[in-house]
Amino acid sequence: MIDLRKKEFSRDELIQLLNTPLDEAQELFDNALAIKKETLGDEVYFRGLLEFSNKCSKNCHYCGVRGGRKNLHRYEITDEDIRSAARFAVENDFASMIIQAGERTNKTFIDRITRALDIIMEESNNNMGITLSLGEQSEDVFRKWRDHGAARYLLRIESSNRELYEKIHPVDKLHAYEKRIKGLELLQKTGYQVGTGVMIGLPFQTVEDLADDLLFFKKMDIDMFGMGPYIEHEETPLYQYRHLLPPPEERFWMSIKMIAVLRLMVNDANMAATTAMQTIYPGGREKAMLAGANVIMPNLTPVKYREDYLLYENKPGLEQEKEDTVSYLEEIITGLGLKVGYGKKGDPLHFFNRNK
């Protein structure tokens, strides 16, 4: 029997924990939730999500908005829509927002993001915790955005196994594995609260890979995590390997186990209950919160843009769905015996512990 209350686990132990059969996994989930409550209290934080643009210069093999897809309408959200979303966030007592977009590094894009930060700061009286999820950028750009109010940055490693990384991305300079690692290091160096994560249930991925991902997170001393199941998209190169995929339920429960095991290892980090979990399994975000996740990201992107931001199939929210309204989310969170952390930025405690 593995002691679930220790923080250091060997690779073999991690593999064993991830292989726990579902009908024996309740103890794992319960311990993860208990540790989350002991360390961070019973609050769950809202982050208002803005899908800023689906323009992208990259070509990740899994992604529905990859630059190489020609038959997709490309948009960029207007300043006015950013302002309204920020106003909505302020009115609903969200103290944090996240801006996500395809990766671009040209000056026009960098300036528009800078302006978006200014708009949100203006609307919130400098009181919004802003997370960016905009891919690999130069140190100068990271600094600039930080100076304009971004405090957190999410850059998923997608898989820490270099071989697997190179199967799911083109092998070229733009998509180099080292560049991704370097990005994470630069973010830490420039003082961000740094988030990463992986996709779970990718073709060619093994449970050993996932255990190594967990060890990678720990080694990199990461503050925040966004992980979720891989969901195939017909118009992407990886779709041809769909026969290799574990069934959706399996991908889902492996994702929940990843959250739970990670919570045992890193007690004080923020962990998201992601949309992909909800997409692959109805009520998936609730299961994630019951396994130690403490962040949820209601989508504030105006509905008119959403059909163009489908990273994977069956992504919900093409209309403003009931599942994403503040009242609905509050109800489910309360129903789980947790609370919404209204008005709190919800900085990851791990960041402060790391910088002590």
Footprint of ligand 5AD on this chain (CB under 6 A)? 62-63, 156, 158, 199, 228, 230-231, 233, 276, 311-312
Nearest to 64 by CA among 230, 300, 253, 275: 230
Residue nearest to ligand 5AD (CB): 312
Partner from ligand 5AD, ligand SF4, none binding residue 66, C-beta < 5-8 Å depending on class: ligand SF4
The Cα 295–Cα 272 span in angstroms is 4
Q: Which two tokens stand for residue 263?
A: 């919570």
Query: With CB under 6 A as the contact rule, which of the stretches 59-67, 255-263, 264-272, 321-329 interacts with ligand SF4?
Result: 59-67
Helix (H) and strand (E) counts for the chain? 14, 12
Partner from ligand 5AD, ligand SF4, none binding residue 135, C-beta < 5-8 Å depending on class: ligand SF4
Figure out which of the listed residues 60, 82, 116, 288 binds ligand SF4, where binding follows CB under 6 A: 60
Residue 306 and residue 324 in contact, taking contact as beta carbons nearer than 8 Å:
no
Query: With CB under 6 A as the contact rule, which of the stretches 40-48, 51-59, 177-185, 326-334 interacts with ligand SF4?
Result: 51-59
Query: With CB under 6 A as the contact rule, which of the stretches 28-36, 58-66, 112-120, 201-209 interacts with ligand SF4?
Result: 58-66
Partner from ligand 5AD, ligand SF4, none binding residue 312, C-beta < 5-8 Å depending on class: ligand 5AD
Partner from ligand 5AD, ligand SF4, none binding residue 151, C-beta < 5-8 Å depending on class: none
Figure out which of the listed residues 36, 47, 58, 315 binds ligand SF4, where binding follows CB under 6 A: 58
- Cα dihedral 295, 48, 89, 345 sign: positive
The Cα 354–Cα 218 span in angstroms is 12
Binding positions for ligand SF4, 86-115, rule CB under 6 A: 102-103
Tell me how many degrees the CA angle 86-92-306 measures, rounded to the nearest 5: 55
Q: Which is nearer to ligand SF4, 59 or 105 (CB)?
A: 59
Partner from ligand 5AD, ligand SF4, none binding residue 309, C-beta < 5-8 Å depending on class: none
Q: Which is nearer to ligand SF4, 47 or 180 (CB)?
A: 180
Residue 262 and residue 271 in contact, taking contact as beta carbons nearer than 8 Å:
yes
Q: Which is nearer to ligand SF4, 63 or 231 (CB)?
A: 63
The Cα 55–Cα 185 span in angstroms is 25
Say how many C-beta atoms besides its own lie within 10 A of residue 72's C-beta. Answer: 19
Residue 97 and residue 345 in contact, taking contact as beta carbons nearer than 8 Å:
no
Place of tokens 């132990």: 13
Partner from ligand 5AD, ligand SF4, none binding residue 340, C-beta < 5-8 Å depending on class: none
Q: Which is nearer to ligand SF4, 135 or 203 (CB)?
A: 135
The maximal CA–CA distance of the chain, rounded, in angstroms, is 56
Q: How far is the CB of 62 from ligand 5AD (least distance, A)?
A: 4
Figure out which of the listed residues 48, 129, 135, 298 binds ligand SF4, where binding follows CB under 6 A: 135
Residue type, 12: D
Figure out which of the listed residues 65, 150, 254, 256 binds ligand SF4, where binding follows CB under 6 A: 65
Do you know the residue count of the chain? 356
If one asks whether residue 228 binds ligand SF4 (CB under 6 A), the answer comes out as no
Report the interhelical angle of 248-265 vs 26-40 (nearest 10°): 40
Instruction: Please give the span between the terminal C-alpha atoms of the chain, in angstroms, as a whole number.
Output: 34
Q: Which two tokens stand for residue 231?
A: 């969901």
Where on the chain is the footprint of ligand SF4 (CB under 6 A)?
A: 56, 58-60, 63, 65-66, 102-103, 135
